[in-house]
Amino acid sequence: MPNPQASARKPLSAPQKALHKLGLERDIDLALHLPLRFEDQTRLHRLADVREGQTVQLEAVVTHSEIRLQPRRQLLVTLDDGSGSCTLRFFSFYPSHQRALAVGARVRVRGEIRGGFLGRSIMHPAFEAAGGALPSALTPVYPSSAQLPQAYLRKAVAAALARSDLSETLPPPVLERLQRLQHGRCSLREALQQLHQPAPDAAGAAYEDRGSPAWQRLKAEELLAQQLSQLCAKRERDARRAPLLCAVPDGLQQQLLGALPFALTAAQRRVGQEIARDLARPLPMHRLLQGDVGAGKTVVAALAAAQAIDAGWQCALMAPTEILAEQHFAKLVGWLEPLLAPRGQCVAWLTGSQKKKQRNDMLALIASGAAALVVGTHAVIQQQVRFARLGLAVIDEQHRFGVAQRLALRNKTAAAAPAQQAQQAQEPHVLMMSATPIPRTLAMSYYADLDVSTLDELPPGRTPVLTKLLAAPRRAALIERVRAQLAQGQQVYWVCPLIEESEALDLSNASSTHAELSAALPGVTVGLLHSRLAPTEKKAVMAQFVAGQMGLLVSTTVIEVGVDVPNATLMVIEHAERFGLSQLHQLRGRVGRGAAASVCVLLYGAPEGERLSELARARLKAMVETGDGFEIARRDLELRGPGEFLGARQSGAPLLRFADLASDAHLLDWARWAATELLEKDPAAAQKHLQRWLGSKSDYLKA
């Protein structure tokens, strides 16, 4: 039996490698790997009694075996169990199959009965010699991969479950309070035993009932681990050091405030103060600035950057797309460059598509410290980028970045660390920004370690955007509407959707829409923006639109975030039913940026002969009903669940596997309380609990 710990030094076998690939390294990982479903192998069926579509287990004698070459090479084996016959069909097989299934052999087979032209058959059944003892319990079927046979995984899980240290980590008062919520006692060991090996009579029922004591126990433990790791991360962070970035009287920050063409809103002043206070403390800031699209987050970030620069440090600002980074760059350069130049400093720009020479120049400016502010895409966190003194990192649209990328940014001051030598290593303050507010339950669980500032006020003079639904057949009327809008000197966005993740189709669709609209609107400059354009071309198109020389901009979703053109007052989103809710909201935020009333038209159409899915309808309905980003986020969470919402799936962050924030809020409350309790009264138990649940993954939670 594989014991990954014991065999750590020997080369791994193929199934062992497959286990590792699934993240099943320790005994406890296997013990927490729960079945997808169960198969009942406790009894045998008679061929006379089975019907098509049924999953069966038979014992029968092989009466015929042949390899047929037409229409495809296959092994055909005929069985007879005395009550009837059936054919086994294998398209991939080895000589060992033929030997085990030779005429006269008595075998036990399992699979799904299919009907058909040649009589009943089973494709690729599982088989073994007949006569072995039948299992007394249901057989679990685990999530697995092609390289990992079920039988192997099943044995590995059973062995690991028996071997695992599942001793109680909860002290009596914590346990008592849980038992009251749990509707009955159930230790972790009992819970796992029940969930892996339910009694045959309980069948699926016990497993399906997520309210059972076994499930409640598992979910509570998981939530506790998550809360503990958040609390530990917070404590750890409080023990780390960051540079003191104190405001300077009459410094850059004051000058920037004086130079802005508008007054800050009360909300901007308030969050600005929250951030300023954090920066002036020697602990690393870890703050999320959330505010709806158009709330004015950029200027708040610029003021924070100015404070860092005043204190003699550098600031890095990272945006998820090149266009957005570019817009920030243009805006920040406009604001800050005139103020930085007299001080001999500048703003640097880093992106993936940069020419080598330009990039090297930028890297030199960053390394020397002359670049007080560095704006860019992920390129900012790449290995070769060395900061002289990075004091503040700002991450815009933080949910678009993976956790690993955020961690990398934090590690960036490691480059600056040698300079501080004997002192404790410092790390930069981090300000994250998001237009997708985090609903409360998520904030409590995934971001318990985060301070949150909220811009709950839009700059004055904005008119709310009116959202309308329009069925696809009314497209022609809509084009007339666009014509009228353009005639008034206003500008229009026309967004085409992503077609099944295919960039090529995506492009051809946007191009044909572009051609169609150009033909329908003679005399109008119609632009086209998509992800395949070279950065300089994108820049040129955007510049024309921003300058008002282009009336209509057809684009794929590349304009999703941050683009700011106040004169654009109509947005058409084609096939709106294919977009996610937060994406629609972000897109809609591109209009309503000026004084004129703006409209967002959601064109929708189901494929021929079909109806829109429930989910698509719910999204469109939400868009019409509310313009409030918080409400949108709440509904989005409801519709999608937290996994996708966090965008962390690919980044390796451990999402909740068992608990569900919507239905397990009572357990979350318990876990929050229990985490503090455990850390204070029994740190060793807390450590053990964390180790058990998160092991090596716990680092991710600190990002």
> What's the closest the beta carbon of residue 520 comes to Mg ion, in angstroms?
33
Q: Which of residues 228-257 bind Mg ion (CB under 5 A)?
A: none
Cα–Cα distance between 527 and 541 in angstroms, integer? Answer: 7
- How far is CA 567 from each of CA 344, 486, 594, 627, 671, rounded to the nearest angstrom? 36, 11, 6, 20, 50
Q: Rounded to the nearest whole angstrom, what is the least distance from the CB of residue 238 to ligand ADP in the complex? A: 29
- Residue from 435, 559, 632, 648 binding ligand ADP (CB under 6 A): 435
- Does position 585 interact with ligand ADP (CB under 6 A)? The reply is no
Near ligand ADP by CB under 6 A, which window of 126-134, 228-236, 292-300, 470-478?
292-300
Binding status of residue 265 toward ligand ADP by CB under 6 A: yes
Residue 300 or 365: the one with the smaller Cβ distance to Mg ion is 300
Residue nearest to Mg ion (CB): 562
Distance (Å, rounded) from C-alpha 638 to C-alpha 652? Answer: 23
Q: Does residue 264 bind ligand ADP (CB under 6 A)?
A: yes
* Residue 168 engages ligand ADP in binding (rule: CB under 6 A): no
Contact residues for 118 (Cβ-Cβ < 8 A; gap 6+): 87
Q: Which residue type is seen at 77?
A: V
Distance CA(636)–CA(630), nearest Å, equals 10
Among ligand ADP, Mg ion, none, residue 262 binds (CB under 5-8 Å by kind): ligand ADP
Cα 550 to Cα 547: distance, rounded to the nearest angstrom: 8
Phi, psi values for residue 650, rounded to 5°: -80, -15
Select the span of 88-96, 295-303, 606-614, 620-628 touching ligand ADP (CB under 6 A).
Answer: 295-303
Q: How far is the CB of 621 from ligand ADP (least distance, A)?
A: 24
How near is the Cβ of 188 to ligand ADP at its closest, in Å? 45
Can residue 629 be called a binding residue for Mg ion (CB under 5 A)?
Answer: no
* Rounded-to-integer distance, Cα 536 and Cα 547, Å: 16
3-state secondary structure of 455: strand
Closer residue to Mg ion in complex, CB, 213/562: 562
Instruction: Say whether residue 564 binds ligand ADP (CB under 6 A).
Output: yes
Tokens matching residue 548: 């008002």
Nearer to ligand ADP, 299 or 600 (CB): 299
| Structure tokens, 287 | 């703050």
* Residue 268 contact among ligand ADP, Mg ion, none, beta carbon within 5 to 8 Å by kind: ligand ADP
Q: Say how many residues make up the chain.
A: 703
562 binds Mg ion (CB under 5 A): yes
Q: Which is nearer to ligand ADP, 40 or 456 (CB)?
A: 456
What is the nearest approach in angstroms of Mg ion to the Cβ of residue 653?
24
Query: What does the angle CA 141 – CA 147 – CA 153 come to, to the nearest 5 degrees?
Result: 35
Q: Which stretch binds ligand ADP (CB under 6 A): 75-83, 97-105, 260-268, 548-556?
A: 260-268
Three-class secondary structure of residue 171 per DSSP:
coil
- Please choose, out of 26-34, 113-121, 258-266, 501-509, the segment that lies near ligand ADP by the rule CB under 6 A: 258-266
- Indicate the residue among 94 and 262 with the shorter CB distance to ligand ADP: 262
**Measured from the CB of residue 568, what is the shortest distance to ligand ADP in angstroms?**
12
3-state secondary structure of 373: strand
- Taking only Cα atoms into account, the Rg of the chain, rounded to an integer number of angstroms, comes to 31
Nearer to ligand ADP, 439 or 629 (CB): 629
Taking the C-alpha atoms of residue 684 and residue 695, their distance in angstroms, rounded to an integer, is 15
Helix axes 629-640, 581-588, angle to 10 degrees: 160
Q: Which does 94 bind (CB under 5 to 8 A by kind): ligand ADP, Mg ion, none?
A: none
459 binding ligand ADP? (CB under 6 A): yes
- The amino acid at 482: V
Determine if 434 is a binding residue for ligand ADP (CB under 6 A).
no
Interface with ligand ADP includes 296 (CB under 6 A)? yes
Handedness of CA 499, 504, 510, 512 (dihedral sign): negative
Mark out the alpha helices in 209-296 (DSSP H runs).
213-239, 252-259, 266-279
| Residue whose CB is less far from ligand ADP, 294 or 428 | 294
Kindly state the tokens that stand for 44. 């045998």
Spell out, one character per residue from 494 to 533, where the chain touches ligand ADP: x when CB under 6 A holds, - when not. Answer: ----------------------------------------
Work out how close the CB of 354 gets to ligand ADP at its nearest, in angstroms, rounded to a whole number: 24
Q: Which is nearer to Mg ion, 4 or 562 (CB)?
A: 562
Q: What are the CA-CA distances from residue 646 to residues 317, 588, 637 (Å)?
A: 21, 21, 9
Q: If you search the block for the tokens 């054919």, which residue do you land on?
A: 87
Q: Does 35 bind ligand ADP (CB under 6 A)?
A: no
Binding region for ligand ADP (CB under 6 A) out of 115-123, 135-143, 294-302, 334-342: 294-302
Total site size for ligand ADP, rule CB under 6 A = 15
Contact 571, 485 (CB under 8 A): no
The Cα–Cα gap between 175 and 213 comes to 13
Q: Could you tell me which stretch among 290-298, 441-449, 627-635, 670-678 binds ligand ADP (CB under 6 A)?
A: 290-298
Nearer to ligand ADP, 398 or 509 (CB): 398
Q: Binds 264, which of ligand ADP, Mg ion, none (CB < 5 to 8 A, cut-off by type)?
A: ligand ADP
Cα-based distances in Å from 655 to 26, 119, 436, 642: 18, 47, 19, 8
Among 78, 197, 298, 321, binds ligand ADP (CB under 6 A): 298
Residue number with the smallest Cβ distance to ligand ADP: 296
Is residue 457 at the binding interface for ligand ADP, with CB under 6 A as the rule? no
Number of other residues whose CB lies within 10 A of the CB of residue 223: 25
3-state DSSP call for residue 546? helix
Q: Between the CA of residue 244 and those of 313, 400, 420, 617, what are the distances in Å? A: 10, 29, 14, 50
The two three-digit tokens of residue 494, written as one number: 């026309």
The residue (of 296 and 391) whose beta carbon lies closer to ligand ADP is 296
Q: Which residues bind ligand ADP (CB under 6 A)?
A: 262, 264-265, 268, 291, 293-299, 435, 459, 564
The footprint of Mg ion (CB under 5 A) covers 562
